[in-house]
Amino acid sequence: MRNTEHKIKEIIPGSIAEELELEAGDTLVSVNGQEIEDVFDYHYYMNDELVTVLVRKPDGEEWELEIEKEYEEDLGIVFESSLMDEYRSCRNKCIFCFIDQMPKGMRETLYFKDDDSRLSFLQGNYVTLTNMSDHDIDRIIRYHLGPINISFHTMNPQLRCRMLNNRFAGDIFPKVERLAAAGIEMNGQIVLCKGVNDGEELEYSLEQLTQYLPALRSVSVVPVGLTKFREGLYPLEPFDQEDAKGVIDCIERWQKKIYDRYRLHFVHASDEWYLLAGRSLPEAERYDGYLQLENGVGMLRLLHEETMEALAERAEDAGQGSDGGRVREISLATGMLAAPYLRLLYEEIRKEYPQVRLHIYEIENRFFGERITVSGLLTGQDLIAQLEGRALGEELLLPVNMLRSREEVFLDDITVKELESALQIKVRIVESSGYDFVEAVTGVPLPRKKEEFDE
């Protein structure tokens, strides 16, 4: 039996819920007379100007409250579980799963294998659809939720079963067809494994995926991440430069084909492929509005565009450097992958701000192994070990993606404060836009941020 009553954990100060004298410990029983299964139902029924909420107080008394509000206005209730339900774990055992390749002894929550469509809508997680019922699909269609991010990996049903180690993994396509027919926006990803779903299999998958256009707005192809902890796991090999060139050629061929018909490039190689192949990144227009940035698709191109925009906008400050011309010596640590690219951006910044001296340090990932080259998987211990004794200047800049979910803590539980004290340096966490990058490097506050221009 599903639990359809939801304990309130917290009331946001100044919210409608506080005005109504709702309190932590109360229980939400229904909205508009409907039982609430989870956060999908809650948001759907709450999106109204007039709602009736039934709440049970701890002494058993029930309050029926008629509430007038703005259409999408939130009541300000925090529930004990943010999904208003148990998190659904995955039913697969993928041959490339990153969690299986993590060392023992890390924080418990990092080992949780979620595959919950609700997290796809709320946080952009990718889901395999293997544990999604028809009832879930019905609700997504009924509430017209979207976009949903789907891990396809291949369109060959037998191969999908083998890759996900799940004999039902090849059954998802009718579900995708239903979502596409209902116009639910989707994005797809393919984690590419050498000798498994690349080559002809990739060509086949890309061809088949076009049938879901235009509901399926984009498909990213990302290389499998391989750590040094693969003992006993499926033998997977890393891609080399020639492989990367082949993958890019295949994707760019499909982009041209699809663009002619749909005015959409649709399939995208993640940044890693271009860096590995030593090829220049696609121009901004080819990313169709950067639909899969969080998946490392177009991040570096966007960073470049924003950096150049930010520099152009602050042209009148040019040549002043920080503090009216004072030399600003700072450092930045990043993964092996992005470091060369950040150096190019630094050269651009130096043309306008010659007083800035930025030391860029690429940090080898000794924790997970040297094949992991992205900054988002670097740990505090690798940073400390490899930055000790280096020239760090007055501040150390670190990209925000090195921290766990915006907490001040790295993947290995070392905190920013601990790192600061070990290296005796002030750390500045840099948000991901080029505007933030220019601001952090120059030390000169931005006159206006990009978002403000966009508003």
Q: Do the Cβ atoms of 190 and 219 come closer than 8 Å?
A: yes
> Strand 328-335 and strand 396-399: pairing?
parallel
- Nearer Cβ to ligand SF4 (163/358): 163
The tokens describing 110, both together, are 């990092």
Distance CA 452, CA 455 (A): 5
- Nearer Cβ to ligand SF4 (131/415): 131
- Nearer Cβ to ligand SF4 (126/410): 126
**Long-range pairs for 69-72: beta carbons < 8 A, 24 or more residues apart:** 69/16, 71/47, 72/47
Which residue ranges make up the site for ligand SF4 (CB under 6 A)? 90, 92-94, 97, 99, 113, 115, 128
For residue 140, report the phi and psi dihedrals to the nearest 5 degrees: -60, -40
Least distance to ligand SF4, CB of residue 152, Å: 12
Least distance to ligand SF4, CB of residue 233, Å: 11
Least distance to ligand SF4, CB of residue 223, Å: 14
For residue 267, report the phi and psi dihedrals to the nearest 5 degrees: -110, 135
End-to-end CA distance of the chain: 46
- Nearer Cβ to ligand SF4 (28/90): 90
Strand partners, 79: 8
Q: C-alpha distances in angstroms, 392 versus 236, 332, 341?
A: 38, 8, 20
Least distance to ligand SF4, CB of residue 134, Å: 20
DSSP E strands in 101-228: the ranges are 126-127, 148-151, 186-192, 216-223
- Nearer Cβ to ligand SF4 (96/287): 96
Least distance to ligand SF4, CB of residue 91, Å: 8
- Nearer Cβ to ligand SF4 (78/99): 99
Q: Do the Cβ atoms of 290 and 302 come closer than 8 Å?
A: yes
Least distance to ligand SF4, CB of residue 157, Å: 16
Q: Do the Cβ atoms of 127 and 222 come closer than 8 Å?
A: no
Least distance to ligand SF4, CB of residue 14, Å: 39
Distance CA 350, CA 307 (A): 12
- Nearer Cβ to ligand SF4 (154/307): 154
